[in-house]
């Protein structure tokens, strides 16, 4: 088997493509060369192909167990953090993650059986038919099966700080896609590693659920924050590096404005449940995609309610949404 490719995207910064067993098919991990060793930003998912790809590519750019000092996780979704425990076991590197994301990871790992029961009840209130709700739970079980039980060594707290490992890199708290999501920034070099916060071709899923009450406001605020940064090179987790951060942020902001307008137009035809809104706006999707559509519809509805555009009534068994 040929060695997995690692691409230098800037002096001392390498992109490693790690395969995923689901769309979009790959995720980027980033190797940063420091004064005293290497930092790895994200790791990929824990599958045999991903293990091989990450290790082969990292070793290709000179990473050794002795040289890898820090593993920085942008967020706790399994395609970004799944291999962190194994990489630490291989190298002894310290794992860093934001406090809000570690709290989320602990729920994903330690409390899923309990949360699963509550999630089934929530699906009912959102108007999800019983058979579809069971499919949603099976899809969620698959996602949770990729999580590994490990504890980080460094907890990042607050809104911004120096990245462990030094070299002038910083981390910035950018909630939205996930409550404790961070981006990694070098002010002097004007490089920004965006994780899933800003992607070049797709909009990251911004979904409301047990773990995020109304994430769209946080996401839009985080976008506005990043738009003010001097950035020449954007390094996303999915898709190729690109240059114009402000233009892409404007596109993402416009996308969410358009989604809000679509939801308002749907409700102009009469009240509906979250599931009905999701089907009306996103169309007929397979369960694993429809689940994300329902979460995104709920996030937009709660955002619109916060801005007094819609309202909902909840009799304890069913939520119904309508224009105000």
Q: With respect to residue 91, please indicate whether it lies within any of the assigned structural domains.
A: yes
Cβ of 107: how many Cβ atoms within 10 Å? 14
User: What pLDDT does 1 receive?
Assistant: 33
Domain annotation covers residue 1? no
Enumerate long-range contacts of 250-259, CB under 8 Å, 24 or more apart. 252/198, 252/203, 252/223, 253/220, 253/223, 255/203, 256/203, 256/206, 256/216, 256/219, 256/220, 256/300, 259/296, 259/300
User: pTM for the complete prediction?
Assistant: 0.95
Q: Does residue 121 form part of some domain? A: yes
Please write the tens of the pLDDT for every residue from 117-144: 999 999 999 999 999 999 999 989 988 8
Query: pLDDT per residue over 229-240, tens digit each?
Result: 999 999 999 999
Domain assignment of residue 157, given as a range: 6-323
pLDDT at 3 over 60: no
What gap in Å lies between CA 312 and CA 210, rounded to an integer? 18
**Contact by Cβ (8 Å): 84, 65:** no
User: Is the pLDDT at 4 greater than 90, yes or no?
Assistant: no
Q: Note the pLDDT tens digit of each residue in 144-185.
A: 888 877 899 999 999 999 998 878 999 999 999 999 999 999
pLDDT-based confidence at 98, cuts 50/70/90? very high
The pLDDT of 39-65, averaged and rounded, is 94
Which token pair is 119?
A: 């999630």
**CATH value at residue 159:** 3.60.15.10
Say if 267 falls within a structural domain. Answer: yes
Give the count of domains, the chain. 1
**For range 43-61, the mean pLDDT:** 93
Q: Are strands 154-156 and 160-162 parallel, antiparallel or unpaired?
A: unpaired
> What pLDDT is recorded for position 2?
40
CA atoms within 13 A on the CB side of 317: 1
Q: Decide: 75 and 205 in contact? Cβ < 8 Å.
A: no
């Amino acid at each position: 088997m040929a060695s997995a490719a690692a691409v230098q995207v800037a002096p001392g910064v390498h992109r490693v493509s790690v395969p995923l067993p689901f769309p979009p098919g790959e995720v980027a991990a980033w190797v940063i060369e420091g004064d005293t060793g290497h930092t790895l930003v994200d790791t990929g998912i824990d599958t045999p192909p991903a293990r091989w790809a990450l290790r082969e590519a990292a070793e290709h750019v000179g990473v050794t167990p002795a040289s890898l000092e820090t593993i920085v996780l942008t967020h706790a979704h399994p395609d970004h953090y799944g291999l962190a425990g194994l990489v630490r076991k291989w190298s002894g590197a310290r794992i860093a993650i934001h406090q809000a994301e570690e709290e989320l990871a602990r729920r994903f790992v330690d409390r899923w059986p309990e949360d699963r029961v509550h999630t089934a009840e929530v699906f009912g209130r959102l108007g999800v038919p019983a058979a579809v709700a069971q499919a949603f739970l099976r899809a969620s079980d698959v996602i949770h099966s990729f999580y590994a039980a490990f504890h980080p060594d460094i907890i990042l707290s607050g809104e911004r700080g120096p990245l462990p490992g030094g070299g002038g890199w910083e981390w910035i708290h950018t909630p939205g896609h996930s409550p404790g999501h961070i981006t990694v920034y070098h002010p002097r070099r004007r490089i920004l590693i965006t994780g899933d916060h800003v992607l070049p071709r797709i909009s990251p899923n911004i979904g409301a659920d047990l773990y995020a009450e109304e994430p769209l406001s946080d996401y839009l605020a985080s976008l506005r924050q990043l738009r003010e940064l001097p950035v020449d090179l954007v390094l996303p987790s999915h898709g190729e590096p690109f240059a114009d951060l402000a233009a892409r942020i404007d596109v993402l902001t416009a996308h969410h404005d358009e989604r809000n307008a679509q939801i308002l137009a749907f409700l102009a035809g009469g009240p509906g449940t979250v599931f009905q809104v999701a089907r009306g706006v996103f169309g007929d999707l397979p369960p694993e995609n429809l689940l994300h559509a329902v979460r995104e519809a709920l996030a937009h509805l709660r955002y619109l309610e916060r801005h007094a555009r819609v309202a909902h009534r909840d009799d304890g068994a069913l939520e119904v949404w309508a224009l105000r």
